[in-house]
Every structure is written in structure tokens, then in C-alpha cells.
Amino acid sequence: MFNKTRARQSSALRRPRLAVERLDVKDLQFADELPEGRMVELPGRGTAFVRIAAGPAGAPTVLLLHGLMATADLNWSLAVPALAGRFNVVAPDLRGHGRGMATRRFTGEECAEDVAAIVRTLQLGRVIVVGYSLGGLVAQLFVRRYPEMAAGIVLCATASRFDVPTEKGFVRLVEQAARRFPERIRRAAMLAMLAPKSADCPQGRWLMGEVRRHDTMALLDAIAEAAKFNSGSWLSDSTCPSAVIVTQDDMVVSVEAQRELARVLGRPTVYEIPGDHFVCIKRPREFNEALVAACAGVQG
């Protein structure tokens, strides 16, 4: 069960650490079937891949933004059917991830513009935007740029600032060094880093198939984006109804930083659930209960 609380200030903020935790496929849960996938032409921008699940007639729309190194399918496959009982659901792959748009450089601002273009092109009206981890960064930028498009915002396992090593431009130095290697070497290194335990099974092969679609340089750019992101000076200006889902055992985005995000937002409703950064695929029942409640709460 999740604990529903009001935001409170953390007495000692510890900024979140960007980390990669080796997953075991046996611990992960995904849907057996996926909703319709559609390639959507965004005028002047490119073609976006979007999963779409229809909810009840006249239902509001929830727009789901996945995390770093994930895809809509990896992050949200079990959340979509849970939400579709009362919402229309749209879940795109972010640029450089999965089937998402090709990009010269990943930026949060460009992703926020992509989201706005999806809302306009699909004529979604005002949406409840949900961001998980890196998707939370994009969701915050979207709401800042397009408040008229946002009926509510739900931020999961994310922060208003991310602790990525930046001493002497560490992230940019790594990125520049990586550009010296051909894509096949970068891709081999990425697959070796992200390959889960017990991967030699149908579920593991499907997971790695999703990962192989990523643009390795876009992922490095995304890490650099997280390193410089800080919404602390402007996020509180938003009047959009908000909720925060805190993952209490998170070793990637610390629980203190997630609570600090809630404090910066002002007075969101906070849902605290047990689980680490991958709770959406390790403990989907608990996560989806909180997610549905959070979306319903910001809907009003």
C-alpha cells in the first residue's frame, strides 16, 4: 500500500545519484499484450512513435513520459491497462530512445516541444502529463512552456535537480570521448552495461531488443541534460494541479531529493510507495495503484 501525505521539507537534502542497477529479468513484469502503436508525423519535427489506449468515452487523457534508457513499452506496459479503465492513455518514445525520433542532440527542451506537438497533432486537449525519472524532467519543462495544455502533472521517481558528476565537465568529457568511438563499439558497451541477469529467455530477449533501438549518443546527451537541470527557481510558479510519487528505496534518485521536489512544487499530494527506481516493473501493482490515484487526484 502507498502512504498519501502532504509535501514537507526535507531537513537534509541529498542530491540524487545517477546509477545503473543490474536487473534480473526474473524480478521484472511486463504486459503480455501492448496497445496500438502508431507513427505520428509531427509537422516540422519528424515522426514520433506513440502507444495509444482508448479509455471511456469523454475521459481525460494521460500522457506518459518514460525514463532514461527506457521506452514507453518498458516503462509503462502494465501502467497503460491500469489507467485505461478511466483515462485515455498516450505514451510516446522520447527522441533518441526506442522508436523515438532521430536526433542530433537530446535536449529536454526539444522533448518538451515534441510533447506539445503530439498534443496538438492528436488533438488531445489538456492532458495529465506523467513523467518518470528523466521523463519527469521533460514533464516539468512541458508544463512550464505550455501551461494551457496541462490539466495536471504527476512526477514519479524524479527530482527538480539531478546529481550527475560535473567536476571539470566530467559528463561532457565522457561524451566527447565516446564520440571518438564508432557506434558499434558504443552500442556494444551500452548493451553490456544494461544487459539484465538471466537475459537468455523470451522476456530478456524482448527487453534487450528494446534497448538495441536506443541512440547511444542521445543517452549520453540525456545524462548531460540531467546534470545541468535545476527547476528550483521556477517550478513553484506553476499553478497546475500536481502529485509526486516517491519511491522509498530508490538508489538512483534519492528519496530525499524526491521529497525536495515535492517541497519545491508547493503543496502537491505525495504518494510514498516501497520499492526502488524500477518499481514500475518490479512491483507494478503497488505503483499502478498510486499512479491511478495520483492522476485522478490532479484531475480534480
- Provide the pLDDT for residue 12: 36
pLDDT of residue 13: 40
- Name the strand (E) or helix (H) holding 18: none
Tens-digit pLDDT profile for residues 267-291: 999 999 999 999 999 999 999 999 9
End-to-end alpha carbon distance in the chain: 22
Pick 158 or 15 by higher pLDDT.
158
Contact 86, 292 (CB under 8 A): yes
CATH fold group of domain 3-299:
Rossmann fold (3.40.50)
pLDDT given for residue 198 in this prediction: 72
Residue partners of 197: CB distance under 8 A and separation at least 6: 22, 23, 24, 25, 26
pLDDT tens digit sequence for 57-87: 999 999 999 999 999 999 999 999 999 999 9
Q: What does each C-alpha distance from 56 to 153, 154, 288 come to in angstroms?
A: 21, 21, 18
pLDDT > 70 in the chain, percent: 82
d(C-alpha 206, C-alpha 98), whole Å: 12
Of 1, 9, 13, the residue nearest 161 (C-alpha):
13
